[in-house]
């Protein structure tokens, strides 16, 4: 059984109209060549870290990113460019969803384990992440740019369980604001609401 | 020396294809494109090379020994393109 | 931690459409790559290690290859296990033919249907390191006892997007693949479908001991020497081995002028005494997301049968590393490394019983 405390959360579905300006302020400059999908991912990841009170990621944290539709828009653009010529290099880079992981690493000057899982649902992503997570926990993101966009992130830290109060949960409730802890066991995913009883963080 | 019409056209291609914040007429034709100056890096040069090949039909390879000279300024880049156009 | 065994493997690649065919072709000197033409001023003809299986319809061809390779790995008896599909290009070849929509879940369901799979399916895409990251994820589930069997299926099949993108980034050679070579001038891409069956209940000759993946974004399309060294360090820790316990490292060495030099630098930093090195890129080409699974399948079979790749171009003396010309004797611990495009550096540690 694995238990995690949620130390940071950021959910916007969809993000507000001025999210790009907010991202530019966090980065110190407007990104010019990474594409909407990666911009939306960076925006959510950095906001989630801010919520967790972290400026840097510790070396042993793992970044797990999932998406239902990923870089479709960039891929569609590139297929259009390729009718009678090579694609534009930056546009091709934008078709690779894992580029976001490298961009996040570069932005934070961080080196570590990061992985993109295509499709499925956030609960499946969490299962893979939890199986590998180390002492510094997980930065978990679920991201889509279609239909207005969604960027949902959790910063999870492993903790020792002291008490009960967990109820069975679905992947859909993973990101809801009242949840303070997550637990994965043979029973599947369970969550616990904030303020129900004390847990000791490792 | 002020930018020629051809140089202005190339400057516009650079700004558009690289999504730069500066406007085309702010690019000094003799200032460096790499590093200081316009601040382009190797990925920008790849992007620009392909944009130039599509627009002017001129090949610019990343392993060309003359690249430092070709990409040293807007003026040198334009001269290179005009020399090799339509070959 | 339960021991995780490599209980089956299957491979279709430019060398052949099954493992024995591939080994036979490699023993008789390998195969010459086919050619792939790309349009445009910066296009042209590029060598490409295609699978010699003629079938115009992308979906039909993929289905046939996936079914064949999974069967070769013994997947027919494990359909309730966990399936990892590792790919950088999904079914984009079918999208190009108008025979699929871009849809991750539809792709995942399609592969599961081809294999009549009833267990969970995860699709991993970390570009070139996809298969190794799938192996690392599968190893975590199995060693913790959450699952008993996993199939890691690497799929990288012909499409214009990948080749066009690599050509646009000027990463491709127009001449051939020269790992660590004096005359190396770029990558040669290839197709592969490869399957590795992992099991905790079926002891086998090879065991997966651990692995590590390190993402470093400092070089947008290349590797970083510090990340290479850190990756080896983390993988050794994860598998409980010291650097001098490693007998052989299957390196990336895809023939890229810059990246091969960075990789050599990282190897020298990680290993005070250099293990034997081997590259399989002259045998398979760089098969992207499938490469980790394809190269582990081929390498373990080569070590069992005493077959070894050879390299036409002499190693660049300035790199300070060399490639083993013959199969080293008594290889017990092997690391299999893929360095990716996209700042991803991954390696997996295997032990021979």
Contact yes or no for C168 and B50 at CB 8 A: yes
Q: For residue B58, give the chain C residue with the closest CA.
A: C41
Measured in residues, chain B has a length of 87
CB-CB: which of A88, A102, A124 is closest to C215?
A102
The proportion of chain C whose per-residue pLDDT surpasses 70, expressed as a percent, equals 100
Please check whether residues C220 and C258 belong to one and the same domain: yes
Contact yes or no for A96 and C102 at CB 8 A: no
pLDDT score of C85: 98
Contact yes or no for A113 and C42 at CB 8 A: no
Please check whether residues C216 and C178 belong to one and the same domain: no
Last residue of a domain, one of C157, C174, C199: C199
Please check whether residues C20 and C153 belong to one and the same domain: yes
Helices (H) and strands (E) in chain C, counts: 10, 12
Q: For residue B64, give the chain C residue with the closest CA.
A: C170
Which CATH number covers residue C95? 3.40.47.10
Kindly give the confidence (pLDDT) of every residue in chain A, 202 residues in length, as a single tens digit, with 9 standing for 90 and above: 899 999 999 999 999 999 999 999 999 999 999 999 999 999 999 999 999 999 999 999 999 999 999 999 999 999 999 989 999 999 999 999 999 999 999 999 999 999 999 999 999 999 999 999 999 999 999 999 998 999 999 999 999 876 788 999 888 889 999 999 999 987 789 999 887 654 444 4
Going along chain A from its start, the domains and CATH numbers come out as: 9-151 (3.40.47.10)
pLDDT score of A199: 47
Q: Does B53 contact C at CB distance below 8 Å?
A: yes
Please check whether residues C308 and C221 belong to one and the same domain: yes
Return phi, psi of residue C250, to 5°: -85, 110
* pTM summary value: 0.97
Contact yes or no for C41 and B46 at CB 8 A: no
ipTM over 0.95: yes
Contact yes or no for A131 and C90 at CB 8 A: no
Place of tokens 């999210």: A19
Q: Quick: pLDDT tens for C237-255.
A: 999 999 999 999 999 999 9
Structure confidence at residue C23 as a pLDDT band (50, 70, 90): very high
**Cis (ω within 30 of 0) for the bond into A14?**
yes
- Please tell me whether residue C165 adopts helix, strand or coil conformation: helix
Q: Quick: pLDDT tens for C246-285.
A: 999 999 999 999 999 999 999 999 999 999 999 999 999 9
Contact yes or no for B59 and C42 at CB 8 A: yes
| Cα separation, C69 vs C202, whole angstroms | 19
Task: Decide: C269 and C323 in contact? Cβ < 8 Å.
Answer: no
| Cα separation, C165 vs C96, whole angstroms | 14
Q: Does B21 contact A at CB distance below 8 Å?
A: yes
pLDDT score of A201: 45
pLDDT score of A172: 81
* Domain count across chain C: 2
Q: Quick: pLDDT tens for C2-19.
A: 999 999 999 999 999 999
Contacts of B61 in chain C (CB under 8 A): 170
How far A59 CA sits from the closest chain B CA (Å)?
A: 27
pLDDT score of A165: 87
Contact yes or no for B50 and A89 at CB 8 A: yes
- Please tell me whether residue A81 adopts helix, strand or coil conformation: helix
The domain of C72 spans 4-199
Contacts of C257 in chain B (CB under 8 A): 63
Please check whether residues C16 and C165 belong to one and the same domain: yes
Task: Identify the DSSP state of C147.
Answer: -
Tokens representing residue A98 in the block? 């894992």
How far C132 CA sits from the closest chain A CA (Å)?
A: 11
Q: Which of C254, C126, C106, C18 is nearest to A120 (CA)?
A: C106
| Cα separation, A103 vs A89, whole angstroms | 16
Return phi, psi of residue A61, to 5°: -70, 155
Please check whether residues C234 and C187 belong to one and the same domain: no
Q: Quick: pLDDT tens for C165-212.
A: 999 999 999 999 999 999 999 999 999 999 999 999 999 999 999 999
CB-CB: which of C90, C165, C218 is closest to A92?
C165
Work out the angle between the directed axes of helices C130-143 and A122-132 (0-180°, nearest 10).
Answer: 70
Last residue of a domain, one of C145, C174, C199: C199
Q: For residue B46, give the chain C residue with the closest CA.
A: C169
- pLDDT > 70? residue C87: yes
| Cα separation, B15 vs B37, whole angstroms | 14
Segment B71-84 mean pLDDT: 95
pLDDT score of C342: 73
Please check whether residues C168 and C222 belong to one and the same domain: no
Q: Testing the interface with C: which of B40, B44, B46, B85 to mutate, by most C Cβ within 10 A?
A: B46
pLDDT score of B87: 59
Long-range residue pairs from A17-23, CB within 8 A, at least 24 positions apart, any chain: A19/A43, A22/A47
Please check whether residues C17 and C145 belong to one and the same domain: yes
Q: Buried (b) or exposed (e) across A3-30, using 16+ Cβ within 10 A?
A: bbbbbbbbbbeebeeebeeebeeeeeee
pLDDT score of B1: 76
Q: For residue C221, give the chain B residue with the closest CA.
A: B43
| Cα separation, A7 vs C27, whole angstroms | 56
Q: Does B65 contact C at CB distance below 8 Å?
A: no
Task: Decide: A190 and A83 in contact? Cβ < 8 Å.
Answer: no
CB-CB: which of C40, C41, C170 is closest to B62?
C170
Please check whether residues C231 and C323 belong to one and the same domain: yes
Q: Buried (b) or exposed (e) across C158-183, using 16+ Cβ within 10 A?
A: bbbbbbbbbbbbbbbbeebbbbbbee
- Please tell me whether residue A80 adopts helix, strand or coil conformation: helix
Return phi, psi of residue C101, to 5°: -95, 155
CB-CB: which of B19, B20, B47 is closest to A89?
B47
Q: Does B28 contact A at CB distance below 8 Å?
A: no
The mean predicted confidence, pLDDT, of chain B is: 91
Please check whether residues C98 and C191 belong to one and the same domain: yes
Please check whether residues C183 and C230 belong to one and the same domain: no
Please check whether residues C186 and C123 belong to one and the same domain: yes
Contact yes or no for A69 and C104 at CB 8 A: yes
Contact yes or no for B63 and C170 at CB 8 A: yes
Contacts of A30 in chain B (CB under 8 A): 21
The mean predicted confidence, pLDDT, of chain C is: 97
């Amino acid at each position: 059984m694995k238990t995690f405390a949620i130390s940071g959360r950021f959910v916007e579905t969809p993000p507000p109209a001025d999210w790009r300006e907010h991202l530019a302020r966090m980065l110190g400059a407007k990104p010019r060549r990474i594409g909407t999908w990666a911009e939306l991912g960076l925006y959510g990841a950095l906001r989630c870290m801010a919520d967790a009170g972290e400026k840097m990621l510790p070396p042993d944290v793992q970044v797990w990113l999932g998406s239902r539709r990923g870089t479709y828009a960039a891929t569609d653009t590139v297929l259009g460019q390729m009718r009678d010529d090579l694609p534009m290099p930056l546009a091709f880079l934008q078709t690779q969803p894992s580029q976001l992981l490298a961009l996040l690493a570069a932005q934070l000057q961080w080196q570590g384990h990061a992985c993109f899982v295509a499709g499925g649902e956030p609960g499946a992503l969490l299962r893979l992440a939890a199986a590998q997570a180390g002492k510094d926990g997980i930065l978990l993101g679920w991201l889509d740019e279609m239909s207005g966009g969604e960027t949902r992130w959790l910063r999870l830290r492993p903790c020792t369980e002291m008490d009960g109060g967990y109820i069975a949960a679905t992947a859909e409730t993973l990101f809801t604001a009242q949840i303070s802890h997550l637990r994965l066991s043979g029973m599947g995913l369970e969550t616990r609401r904030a303020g129900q009883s004390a847990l000791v963080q490792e | 020396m002020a930018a020629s019409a051809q140089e202005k056209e190339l400057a516009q291609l650079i700004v558009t294809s690289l999504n730069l914040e500066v406007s085309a007429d702010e690019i000094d034709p003799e200032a460096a494109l790499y590093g200081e100056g316009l601040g382009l890096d190797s990925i920008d040069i790849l992007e620009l090379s392909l944009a130039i090949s599509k627009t002017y039909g001129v090949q610019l390879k990343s392993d060309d020994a003359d690249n430092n000279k070709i990409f040293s300024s807007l003026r040198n880049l334009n001269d290179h393109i005009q020399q090799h156009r339509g070959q | 931690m339960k021991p995780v065994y490599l209980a089956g493997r299957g491979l279709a690649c430019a060398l052949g459409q099954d493992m024995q065919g591939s080994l036979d072709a490699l023993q008789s000197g390998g195969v010459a790559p086919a050619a792939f033409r790309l349009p445009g001023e910066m296009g042209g003809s590029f060598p490409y290690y295609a699978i010699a299986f003629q079938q115009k319809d992308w979906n039909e061809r993929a289905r046939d290859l996936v079914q064949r390779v999974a069967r070769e790995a013994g997947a027919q008896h494990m359909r309730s296990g966990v399936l990892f599909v590792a790919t950088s290009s999904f079914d984009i070849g079918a999208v190009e033919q108008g025979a699929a929509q871009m849809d991750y879940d539809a792709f995942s369901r399609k592969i599961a249907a081809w294999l009549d799979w009833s267990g969970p399916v995860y699709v991993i895409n970390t570009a070139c390191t996809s298969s190794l990251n799938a192996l690392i994820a599968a190893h975590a589930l199995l060693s913790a006892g959450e699952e008993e069997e996993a199939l890691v299926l690497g799929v990288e099949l012909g499409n214009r997007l990948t080749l066009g993108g690599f050509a646009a980034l000027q990463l491709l050679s127009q001449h051939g693949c020269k790992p660590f070579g004096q005359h190396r001038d770029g990558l040669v891409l290839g197709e592969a479908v490869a399957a590795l069956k992992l099991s905790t209940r079926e002891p086998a000759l090879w065991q997966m001991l651990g692995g590590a993946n390190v993402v470093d974004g400092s070089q947008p399309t290349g590797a970083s020497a510090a990340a290479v060294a850190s990756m080896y360090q983390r993988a050794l820790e994860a598998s409980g081995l010291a650097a001098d316990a490693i007998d052989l490292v299957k390196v990336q060495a895809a023939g890229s002028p810059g990246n091969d030099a960075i990789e050599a630098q990282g190897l020298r930093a990680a290993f005070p005494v250099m293990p034997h090195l081997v590259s399989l890129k002259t045998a398979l080409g760089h098969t992207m997301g499938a490469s980790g699974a394809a190269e582990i399948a081929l390498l373990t079979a080569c070590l069992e049968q005493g077959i070894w790749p050879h390299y036409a171009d002499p190693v660049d003396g300035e790199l300070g590393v060399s490639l083993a010309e013959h199969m080293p004797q008594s290889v017990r611990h092997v690391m299999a490394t893929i360095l990716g495009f996209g700042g991803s550096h991954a390696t997996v540690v295997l032990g021979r019983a």
